[in-house]
Amino acid sequence: MQVLISILKLVGGLAFFLYGMDVMSGGLSKVAGGSLERSLKKMTSNRFKGMIVGGVITIAIQSSSAMTVMLVGLVNSGIMSLGQTIGVIMGSNIGTTLTPWILSLSGVEGDGWIALLKPENFSLAFALLGILMIMMSKKRKRQDMGKILVGFAVLMYGMKLMGESVENLDRDALANIMGTFASNPVLGVVVGAVITGIIQSSAASVGMLQTLAMGGGISYRAAIPIIMGQNIGTCVTALISSIGVSKNAKKVSVVHITFNLIGTVACLILFYVADAIFNFAFVDTDIDAFGISVVHTIFNVSTTAMLCPFVKQLEAFANFVVRPAKKKEQYAFLDERLLAQPAMAVNEAANMTHKMARLAQDTISGAIKLCGNYSEKEAEAILKMETELDDYEDKLGTFLVQLSGRSLTDVDGRRVSTMLHTIGDLERLGDHAVNLVHSAEEIHTKKITFSEHAQAEITNLSKALIEILSLTIDSFEAGDIVAAHEVEPLEQVIDSLIAASKTSHIERLQAGRCTIQTGFVLSDILNNYSRVSDHCSNIAVALIETTQGSFETHEYLNEVKTGSSQSFQERYQHYLEKYPFPAR
């Protein structure tokens, strides 16, 4: 019965450890926000910057496995190249050494203030503070910080349970098992790799080894190969994540595995050769939690230092193992693996939405130019861009809905809301571009010419439409609320110009200066111009309202249109003077 209780404590402690690690890493990545993603892409221009970023991000998210999965997703989406990831992987292996050092404090002996250095003691205060922050604070960031503290406390409680579970172990049996590992280091490497692969956390497997070591009976000679094997086992998560990705993304896992395998083989050979020559006295003494941290750190730092000069060779080997596809591979639009890090996923979704916005702007601008100078080649290009916009809306919409179901910070939640409200309007801009292409084609094939006044009205309106498009897309991309407030006054001016143009057309028609056929085409152009400016207004309003924490579109529009906003009236007058209706 005692053995069964010990097993339950060990399994339960491991469960608490893994759950605490997950909660803590989730909170850390939220607090860090999009800075992780920005740093990852900006500071990977060389291997040394990549190593620093990899180490820092791994410390922040407390998982080298999650770091590698993230890299697989980024390469699969075409956001990063294979070469950029290698330095990050190396730095990630160094970053993962922090957790064992924290866990090694559990072995600190002493009373009074020294006892407070033990994580299981000060983590109790963390738990209380974390719970208070979660329950009493209304700010999401403070709640996330509270989750970090609670996650750490749960992690340390799991560590304590695992420690209690091994107190009643048969030390003679443990010594015999470890003696086998000491005499057969390959078996030790395999066991370390398998255990880590099963629980998919090197931090947890190192923590388990530290717990076993606290009771004595584990020598350095037995522990060293196990520690090295644990680094190989952590590759399993990346290997699983590479299933179903592009060949280029699979190479990330190849580099990760190759890096750890070469490091393990080289370090084992160097260690045993050196031991044979110098006959190290410490190798047959008992290792403790502190010693495990030292060995773990020396191994990871040494492996990185040894392989750092061979980044190009690692990349070449990955290219050799994973042969390039016969036909050019398509990148994943936004890899779902990025959802594991919501802050990064929000940033990448925003980048894609900005690309969609620029594409929509180019589509409308091209269609406007086509109305005055038709080209079949340009018309086909615009139709192709409209199809791309449809694809953007479909894939972005799916990704954003999945992302909105994740736990997001208030800021990221508002960004996702803005994007969800915007992508439909961006897609509709493409539809109106197609309508303008059809109008341009009709003008060209039927050789329709507008009167001088009608042409002046269209030219004036086109300039205003180009400006409102630029204002809208620029403000959306930059998240500039001040610039977004410029859109609605200009939209009202465009509406008034369109209404005046329609009235002017009727007068020309009655005077016999315009034909019915010309009127149909002009009406189509004006209607599409009106709808384009309306969608620009929708995008700007979505940005303004969601940034302010609400989405009361009608309330905002009623405020500006009823004249209660002085700044709106001033801007409206400015654009009215900038785009006066052409004199007849």
CATH number for the domain running over 341-578? 1.20.58.220
Burial of 455 (0-12, 13-18, 19+ CB in 10 A): middle
How far apart (Å, rounded) are the C-alpha atoms in residues 568 and 88?
49
At a CB cut-off of 8 Å and minimum separation 6, what does 68 contact?
89, 92, 235, 237, 238, 241, 252, 253, 256
pLDDT score recorded for residue 112: 47
For the entire predicted model, the pTM comes to 0.73
For the chain, residues with pLDDT lower than 70 are 1-3, 25, 28-45, 60-62, 106-122, 163, 165-179, 182, 325-332, 547-565, 583-584
Give the number of other Cβ atoms within 10 Å of residue 377's Cβ.
6
**Residue-by-residue DSSP string for 235-272:** HHHHHHHTTTS-HHHHHHHHHHHHHHHHHHHHHHHHHH
**β strands within 154-311, DSSP E:** none
Give how far the C-alpha of residue 300 lies from the chain's centroid of Cα atoms, to the nearest Å: 26
Give the DSSP letter of residue 341: S
Return left, alpha or beta for 320; rule: phi > 0 is left, psi -120 to 50 is alpha, else beta: alpha
Name the percent of the chain in helix, strand, coil, to the closest 5.
80, 0, 15
CA-wise closest residue to 346 among 32, 23, 5, 9: 32
pLDDT of 381 reads: 94
The residue extents of the domains of the chain are: 2-321, 341-578
553-581 burial, b at 16+ Cβ within 10 Å, e below that, comes to eeebeeebeeeebeebeebbeebbeebeb
| Total length of the chain | 584
Residues whose CB falls within 8 Å of the CB of residue 394, separated by 6 or more in sequence, listed in order: none
CA atoms within 13 A on the CB side of 143: 11
Which residue in the block uniquely carries the two structure tokens 């861009």?
A: 385
What pLDDT was estimated at residue 69?
Answer: 79
Q: What is the pLDDT of residue 106?
A: 63
What pLDDT, on the 0 to 100 scale, is given for residue 549?
58
Whole-angstrom CA distances from 385 to 359, 367, 438 are 7, 11, 15
* pLDDT recorded at residue 113: 47
Residues linked to residue 286 through DSSP beta bridges, in sequence order: 219
- pLDDT for 168: 61
**What is d(CA 414, CA 425) in angstroms, rounded to the nearest whole number?**
17
Q: What is the dihedral of CA 136, 142, 146, 149, to 10 degrees?
A: -150
What was the pLDDT predicted at 449?
A: 84
